[in-house]
C-alpha cells in the first residue's frame, strides 16, 4: 500500500513538472525555399512564408500565427488583426520539439505591371495591390497554449518592380 502511494505521488509530481515546462517559438525566414516559393511566370503565384520553429522541450500545442497590423494598411481596416493560415491548411498546428512548420503570409503575382498580393488570413484570402517603391511594416504574433508568452515580430515588405522583398524589420 505504501509503495503504491509513493509511485502515485512520483507520477503526479512528474506530470506536474511537465505541465510547468513551456515552449519557445522562434520565427525563421530566408529568401529561399521553403520560405519563398517562386513559380514560373504565368504559373501559380509566388509565396512568402514564415517558419515557426519549436525550440522548447516538448510539443508546442495549438500554435497560431496572427497578422496584427500592416503599415500602411492596403487592406480594409476590419480585416486586421486576423489569424494566418498554415502551409497545407489549418488554423493551428502542434509542432514537436525541434521541428518547424510554415505560416502562409501571402501569395503574389504580377498582373499588367501591377503586383497583386493575396494575404492568407482566417476571413479568407484578402487581395490588394502593393505599390512600387513602397515599404510595408507587418506585425506578426505567434502563440501556443503552452508557450511562456506570445511573441510579436516585425517584418518589412518592400516592392521593387515585379519583386517583393521580405525581411525582419530593424528598429533604428
Rg over CA atoms, the chain? 20
pLDDT for 69? 96
Q: Where are the domains of the chain?
A: 22-168
pLDDT for 1? 44
pLDDT for 60? 96
- The owner of cell 509542432 is 95
Three-state DSSP at 6 gives helix
Q: Which residues of the chain have pLDDT under 70?
A: 1-20, 38-44, 170-172
CA distances from 17 to 11, 129, 138 (A): 10, 50, 37
Beta-strand ranges (E) seen in the chain are: 25-28, 36-37, 46-54, 60-71, 82-83, 85-86, 93-95, 100-111, 114-121, 124-130, 135-143, 151-160, 163-168
pLDDT for 115? 86
- What element of type H or E holds 2? helix 2-20
Amino acid at each position: 500500500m505504501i509503495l503504491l502511494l509513493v509511485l502515485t505521488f512520483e507520477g503526479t509530481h512528474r506530470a506536474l513538472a511537465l505541465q510547468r515546462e513551456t515552449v519557445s517559438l522562434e520565427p525563421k525566414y530566408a529568401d529561399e525555399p521553403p520560405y519563398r516559393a517562386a513559380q514560373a511566370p504565368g504559373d501559380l503565384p509566388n509565396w512568402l512564408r514564415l517558419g515557426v520553429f519549436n525550440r522548447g522541450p516538448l510539443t508546442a500545442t495549438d500554435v497560431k500565427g496572427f497578422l496584427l497590423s500592416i503599415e500602411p494598411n492596403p487592406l480594409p481596416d476590419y480585416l486586421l488583426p486576423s489569424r494566418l493560415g498554415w502551409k497545407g491548411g489549418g488554423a493551428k498546428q502542434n509542432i514537436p520539439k525541434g521541428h518547424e512548420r510554415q505560416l502562409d503570409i501571402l501569395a503574389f503575382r504580377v498582373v499588367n505591371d501591377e503586383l497583386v498580393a493575396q494575404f492568407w488570413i482566417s476571413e479568407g484570402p484578402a487581395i490588394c495591390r502593393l505599390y512600387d517603391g513602397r515599404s510595408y511594416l507587418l506585425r506578426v504574433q505567434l502563440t501556443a497554449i503552452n508557450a511562456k508568452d506570445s511573441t510579436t515580430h516585425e517584418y518589412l515588405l518592400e516592392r521593387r518592380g515585379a519583386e517583393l522583398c521580405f525581411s525582419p524589420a530593424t528598429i533604428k
